[in-house]
Amino acid sequence: LCIFIYLVTVYIIVYNSNVSRKAFLVISVISLFLLSSLRDISMGADAENYLLAFKTIGARGTYYMEKGYVLYNRLIGKITNNYSLMITANCLLFYIPLYKYLKNTVDEGNWPMCIFIVFLQPYIFLQTTFNVMRQACAVGILLIGMLYYSKHEKEAKGIILFSVAAIVAAQFHRSAYFALIIPLLRFVNWTVKKWRVALLISILLNVMNVSGLVRFFAQLAGFNKYFNYRSSLLNNPLYLLLVVIFVVAITSKYDELKETTMSKQVLDLYIFSLVFLVFAVSNDMIYRVYIMLAILSLPAVPVALGGMTTIKVSVGNNKFNAFRIILMLYYVSFFFGYILYLSRSGNAAYIPYRFCF
């Protein structure tokens, strides 16, 4: 709650003064980086496993993890045996590319929305940077590839270099292999009808609980022993209905949005991530693939919502996009609901926050 209030305060001060708006992005990213990197080494559901891996690999032992992450641990281990510094290095690999990606692909007026989504989506801020550190490293590498791809998406070198980045990222977390599908989206002539068909297929896959596909995606992400892993907490009819309504609303404006956005590929990725989400909540491990897609498609969120101009909310002399308000209320409710759930379940992996010193 303190951090949320702090970010809101920074936003109000920066965006209502003569200070460069870049200050908000810099201060926000640095603040999130410090929270993630200065945490106690016991924080995170898999904290013990990652600490054991660092110590084992540093002692030239063997540990079952992706080879890229093992090599990364070995290199850090040659510099220091301080695990807190290892966490800091991981966070740098995530937050520096995130900053560059948002700075170069998002209009400065939309930086606050993207930052608040990063912070308020528990699986981005808490789970990715506190828990699944391999995926944080992988996403950082993908963000570098995506930054280049967004500038050269119509050129062969853009596709090739992003694919190389995806393969390298997969050596840290196998879920990154799924990112290879991103360049292929541009070869589909997406229409409103095709998006609706894709959404229907995703709904059916969720309802039918296709175990074969669950096994396939789980193995692709390197979690073959989790192919019968439990559903995400979000796999309930009300949440799925809200996602479906949101996708239908955005795709109804698709023909207009694809003409106004600076990157149709990122817009397609955002809609694809939402369609995939309907199926992904059926398995908590597959949901992690959605989180990867959600981070990469962040620049499209304000663009998509900006196109939903049919409903406005008036506050005094100001008018606000109703969809933006609804989405931010959703993320605020999601974050604090998740924190309340952790608190009531006695989960000490994330609550209370503990510094490393």
Q: Are 132 and 288 in contact (CB under 8 A)?
A: yes
What is the C-alpha to C-alpha distance for residues 50 and 48, in angstroms, rounded to an integer? 6
Q: Are 227 and 213 in contact (CB under 8 A)?
A: no
Q: How many CB atoms lie within 10 A of CB 294?
A: 23
In the structure encoding, which two tokens stand for residue 211, read together?
Answer: 């175990």
End-to-end CA distance of the chain: 22
What is the C-alpha to C-alpha distance for residues 126 and 197, in angstroms, rounded to an integer? 33
Q: What is the pLDDT of residue 28?
A: 93
What is the C-alpha to C-alpha distance for residues 70 and 50, in angstroms, rounded to an integer? 11
Q: Are 178 and 187 in contact (CB under 8 A)?
A: no
Mean pLDDT by 10 residues, the chain (357 residues): 80 80 92 94 89 86 82 92 94 96 90 91 86 92 92 83 95 91 90 94 83 59 54 78 90 82 78 92 80 92 70 53 78 87 83 87
Closest CA to 136 of 124, 150, 149, 148: 124
Q: What is the pLDDT of residue 222?
A: 55
Whether the CA torsion 126, 130, 135, 137 is positive or negative: it is positive
Q: Are 129 and 164 in contact (CB under 8 A)?
A: no
Q: What is the pLDDT of residue 90?
A: 95
Partnered with residue 318 across adjacent β-strands are 315
Q: Are 119 and 4 in contact (CB under 8 A)?
A: yes
Closest CA to 296 of 181, 199, 130: 181
Cβ-Cβ contacts under 8 Å for 27 (sequence gap 6 or more): 10, 14
With 0.85 as the threshold, say if the pTM is over it: yes
Q: What is the pLDDT of residue 217?
A: 59
Q: What is the pLDDT of residue 225?
A: 54
